[in-house]
Amino acid sequence: MTAEEGDDFPALLRVPARRFGPQGGRGVEDSVVEEVPVALVYNGISHAVMLATPTDLEDFALGFSLSEGLIASPAELLEVEINATPLGIELQLRVTAERFQGFKATRRQLAGRTGCGLCGRESLEQAILAVPQVAGTLAVPAGALTRAIAALPEVQGLHRQSGGVHAAAWAGIDGEIHLVREDVGRHNALDKLVGALRRQRIDPAAGFVLITSRASHELVHKAASAGIQLLAAVSAPTGMAVRNAEAAGMTLVGWLRGSGFSVYSRVDRITDPAA
């Protein structure tokens, strides 16, 4: 097993495998995506450990902090230090004293599976958080969604090489993709995208987000927290995701593949040329 990059924690590894087909078996080397324990430590106190792809970690730190409600704005995250350890990666985050006092009493310990959604929640009351309201009059042509999903494979660099990661992408209302982030966990990929949007001062409400997974409650919650008005998934939504998208006033799209898709809430944001 060899790393494809010189970093302590490369995103891709080369591993030996035996490939079988109609002509029998042969030895090959495959690229596989890495997953690494990533600890998020706030002002010296460990809050969460997630399994993640070790790329775009500053985006991940900011996006996770925002979507979990640990900070209210990027200005409250003062510093991110990335430390490699023998066991994984520590993200040492320094937040304002006022914000830290607000969440340390109710912090939850996350022992995160890959892109874990509800890991570490201690009760049913904690499990399903109220979804924020999404305001705005975004209007997206139906053709923009199909253009964006058609273009997505070309910008999924890690997926092309490994086939083992999810992507979250932000596109303008014309369907052009401007940002994409990838991770073994779909929640992590969305957190990285949210962090990248905020760090680059891009208004999430000026476009829409694509995800290469099903649409779960947690993804709807994270998107709503970021002010995203339209979330489009290549697979199906869950019932809870539909209910919460409706409650939030978010447009939720599923089964975005080829030339078609289904809209489950706030269909008025889709401009249909056939209507």
Catalytic positions: 116
Q: Indicate the pairing of strand 260-265 with strand 251-257.
A: antiparallel
Report CA-CA distances (Å) from 223 to 68, 228, 238.
Answer: 11, 5, 15
Say if residues 91 and 81 touch (Cβ distance below 8 Å): yes
For residue 24, is it left (φ>0), alpha (ψ between -120 and 50) or beta? Answer: left
First to last CA, the chain: 55
The set of residues, in sequence order, having a beta carbon less than 8 Å from that of 61 and lying 6+ positions away, is 40, 77, 80, 91, 93, 195
